[in-house]
Amino acid sequence: MTDLVVDHVNFAYRETPVLTDISLKLRPNSFNLLVGPSGSGKSTLLKLLSGLYPTFSDGSLTGKLTLDDYDIHDIVPYQRVAHIGYLFQNPTRQFVMRTPFEELRFSLENLQVKPEDIEKRITDAMESVGMTAYMHHDLLHLSGGEKQKVALATVLAADSEYLLLDEPFANVDPIARLQLIDVIKAYQNQGKTILITDHDWSGYTDAIDDIFVMDSGHLHNALTDEREQILAKLPNQPAIHTSLPDEKEGIITLDSVTLNSGARTLLSATTRLLPEEKRILITGPNGVGKSTLLSALVKLYPYGGTITYHKENIAKRKIAKHVQDIALVFQNAEQQFVAMTVQEELTQAQTLSHFPEFWSDDAITRVLTQLNLHGLRDHIVYQLSGGQQKKLQVLLMLIIGTQTLLFDEPLAGLDSISQQHLLDIIADLTTRQHQTVIMISHQLHAVTDWFDYHLQFDNQELNYVGDAL
Amino acid sequence: MNPLIKFATVMVIALELTFIKSVTLNIIIIGVSAFLYLFLKLNWRQWLWLFILPLLPGLGSWFSLMYFGTGDHEHMAWVMLSRVFAYLWLGGLFTLKLNDERDIFLATLEQKAKLSATFVYALVGVLNFMPAVSQEMKTIRVASQMRGQTLHIWQPQLYFKAILAAIRWSQNLAEGMVSHGFTEGATRTHLQVVTIKRRDWFLLVIILIAFQLLLLPNWY
Amino acid sequence: MQTISKSKSTRWALRDVLLLAFVAVFIGFIFWVLGPIYNLLSAALTPLGLAPFANELLIGGWMMAAPLASILIRQAGAGVLGEFFAAAVEMLLGGQWGVATLLSGLVQGIGSEAGFAVLGYKNWGWRGIFSSAITGTIVTFIWSAFRDGYSSYHIGLLIALFITRFISLLFFGGVLVVAIQKLIEKAGVLHRD
């Protein structure tokens, strides 16, 4: 067993400390859970342990971060990966090749595994995650859960002693989650050491040996009391209170709409209407097709059947005109910026606003202050943090005031206070501007009473659900 | 035939064609390619592609040379028309089969041509990202249309956005590759070891010699 | 265990090669989308015998990958490689010139890069960029003399073609690239080691 040492590690990103004086000791063959609020530095620690940081960041590192006395990031990747395996939070992020087979082969060839052993290791790893049937499928068309299984298989095939998992189930449906947990437990039983970050440890509470708590860049080992407290606090799915729509007309209607990804059906013929001036939530497992549906509504993804907007077939509407009425707040905020500084962006949005009389300079300043962006007016938008970019992007789209706004995970990556602020602002402004809101979100704690209607996207179906009267 | 050898053969002939002003020779190339296509079992779309695609640039050159040429320009007009067809038909021998032969082509580049794995897998990674690139370009345009701005081809913002995506994606892909043990300059093992048959080398030499001999007569 | 020695840095770092490849693909796509427009223009000009002008007008765009690769990577060979990647993409997308695209890509890359080379690979600002537009025009025009049969044209048409090409390169490969570079610098999104 190689010796992984984390001793007085500090990591700063553009002079902002992310990790402060971190020391960590993992017991051999243990199962470790790392908890903490989002943005507290958990991912950064894992990336440092995997050796990807500081190479793939602009951050600066001090302290001792070694594997058998070698600096982790200095070890050549093919040897490092043989000792420390790392699974990204977002499975699409880590694929290089086209099919699972090619991906595993690429990795094993890098690790200089003997050619005669490669095929067996691929088969074994794919078998352990139950994905042999997908060996030669196109990775692009797999669901979120399937992708994560392949990603895990790639890491398992490397047979590393340490396995680092960064919220591995964040993009995975409940069934796949349980399957993945079993695979990881079995891997630990082969004498491996696991370190996992997660918000929800239901299903593997018994397996956990040590718990580490990260709080604003400080790490400590949870002792008996705190440990019990954490383990007892299983995040329960909050109940969403919505009613079923009784409108006869919708601003958007779907008529026998189908969606496909390659040969896979995402949505089978569905007829639904989405009422005007309401807030509609869309939930469902990742990779099920929620984002694809929003893309189809703005004509960025091909679909079958008919979609209408204000009774007009959107296929017949020019895209430039169409998106003046229905706009998507993209998951990736950078895609939506058109200028350089925060102020330039705001001015641009102000000139094009559908509600120019409302969006005075004072009004903008007021909202900026609420969002904690006030001091950043002359900052370059591409230099802002992810959370700041997201808040700015949402604000810009609200200033434009497009009649229907589609939000793709606007709360992801924000701390809970920011989430609440942002939701309040969206609620206030969209009501004032008579906008229709359609939102994909997994941050259900923040939104329990916020929505009028709730669409569930699952098993190729899109259905309204509701409990309130 | 090994696709890299085929590629080399095709490229050498294409390079020579650039400097040869002969209609006959171009037609011979087209004829030989057509003969080979009979064995490659093309579908009708591919045949259509072969006939239609060169027509526009071919005729474009033909008309210009007919109108505005000097000296032996009528001959040159026919040379250009036939040359465009020759380029595409010759190249098609390589490109039309590339989908099936892609892996072995890249493996040959890595193992036999000793091209650095960094380049080979950059190419592989980027090829796998092609569908995503096309989607990303659409998204870039529509995302700014949602902000009320249309990005045109003569505006630097369009390219800036594309390059920004390229910067982010290259970082991600590099991170993905390294996390899977890819090491610059290190040796890799190979599940499939590529061998180039002696017959392939022999064919390469024969074809190139035969082509040089074809150059000897003073063809039209 | 083997470690990466700090002194030994590979000339072509993985991240640079990937960036270059992605830039080439994105530029390739932007101009591939233009394909139909080019074809229309070219078809309209064909009966007049002026089809080559369609090509001349857009060549600067097709060649943009080279100067962009040079200013992003700032290394000898980047321009040639970037344009070669772009040509490979165009060929695979089914360009009209087949394998000849690769040869042209190589020539275009060399032509463009020559501009940075004559300044000793020291100037990556507007001087280098415009210098590359000039050498790019000259080198590719010589190539066209052979490949496109330009050597058989009237001198008047030849001059007009040359000027059109030069303007196209000055705009796409010069003015536009300088503007793009300014945006990238200002945004601070590229971190050179």
Q: What is the reported pLDDT for A235?
A: 67
Of A110, A140, A334, the CB nearest to B188: A110
Interface with B, mutate which of A76, A335, A394 (most B CBs under 10 A)? A335
**Cβ within 8 Å, pair C154-B68:** yes
Q: What is the pLDDT of residue A373?
A: 93
Residue to test with chain C: of B160, B177, B188, most C Cβ within 10 A: B160
Give pLDDT, residue A468. Answer: 64
Q: What angle do CA A105, A108, A111 make, to 5 degrees?
A: 150
Chain A hits for B174, CB-CB cut-off 8 Å, are 56
The closest of C70, C89, C71, C92 to C81, measured between CA atoms, is C70
Q: C183 vs chain A: nearest CA distance in angstroms?
A: 8
Residue pLDDT, tens place only, B29-43: 999 999 999 988 888
A434 touches chain B (CB under 8 A): no
Across the range C105-117, mean pLDDT stands at 96
pLDDT value for B220 = 82
Q: Which domains does chain A have, with CATH numbers?
A: 4-231 (3.40.50.300), 252-465 (3.40.50.300)
Give the β-pairing of A162-166 and A193-197.
parallel
Range of the domain at C107: 2-192
Q: Which residue has the tokens 């200033």?
A: A399
Query: Measured between beta carbons, which residues in chain B are less than 8 angstroms from residue A50?
Result: 179
Kindly determine whether residue A340 and residue C183, on different chains, have CB atoms separated by under 8 Å: yes
- Interchain pair A76, C4: CB under 8 A: yes
Instruction: Please indicate whether, in this complex, the C-beta atoms of C191 and A58 are within 8 angstroms of each other.
Output: yes
What confidence tens digit (pLDDT) does each residue in A264-316 have? 899 999 999 999 999 999 998 877 899 999 999 999 999 999 999 999 999 99
Distances (CA, A) of A92 to A28, A152, A292, B173, C153: 30, 12, 15, 10, 53
Instruction: Yes or no: say if A243 and A452 are a contact pair by the CB < 8 Å rule.
Output: yes
**What value does the mean pLDDT take over residues C64-75?**
94
Give the DSSP letter of residue B181. T
Instruction: For chain B, list the contacting chains (3+ Cβ pairs, <8 Å).
Output: A, C
Per-residue pLDDT reduced to its tens digit, C27-47: 988 877 777 788 888 888 888
Instruction: Supply the DSSP string of B44-72, one letter for each residue.
Output: HHHHHHHHHTTHHHHHHHHHHHHHHB-SS
Q: How many Å lie between the alpha carbon of C4 and the closest alpha carbon of chain A?
A: 5
Q: Which chains touch A (3 or more CB pairs under 8 A)?
A: B, C
Beta bridge partners of A406: A328, A438
Q: Which residues of C touch A68 (CB under 8 A)?
A: 1
The nearest CA of chain A is from the CA of C131 a distance in Å of 28
The Cα–Cα gap between A436 and A273 comes to 13
* Rounded percentage of chain C residues whose pLDDT exceeds 70: 95
A residues 290..329 contacting B (CB < 8 A) = 298-300, 319-320, 323-324, 327-328
- How large is the average pLDDT for residues B188-200? 93
C1 touches chain A (CB under 8 A): yes
d(CA A47, CA A195): 12
Residue C150: what pLDDT? Answer: 87
Nearest Cα to Cα of residue A330 among A416, A422, A403, A394: A394
Q: C88 contacts in B (CB within 8 Å)?
A: 123
What residues pair up with A210 in beta bridges, in sequence order? A32
State the pTM of this model.
Answer: 0.92
Strand-pairing partners, residue A264, are A261
Residues lower than pLDDT 50 in chain A: none
Q: Using CA atoms, how far apart are residues B104 and B216, in angstroms rounded to an integer?
A: 36
pLDDT above 90: percentage of residues in chain B? 61
Q: Is the pLDDT of residue B1 over 90?
A: no
Whether the CB-CB separation of A48 and A11 falls below 8 Å is answered with yes
Under DSSP, is residue B62 helix (H, G, I), strand (E, B) or coil?
helix
Terminus-to-terminus CA distance in chain B, angstroms?
32
* Count of domains for chain C: 1
Domain boundaries, chain B: 3-99+195-215, 117-179
Whether the CB-CB separation of A94 and B179 falls below 8 Å is answered with yes
Question: Which of residues A410 and C193 earns the better pLDDT score?
Answer: A410
Residue C3 to residue A74, Cβ atoms within 8 A: yes
Q: Are the beta carbons of B189 and A115 separated by less than 8 Å?
A: yes
Q: What is the ipTM of this complex?
A: 0.91
- Shortest CA gap C160–chain A (Å): 37
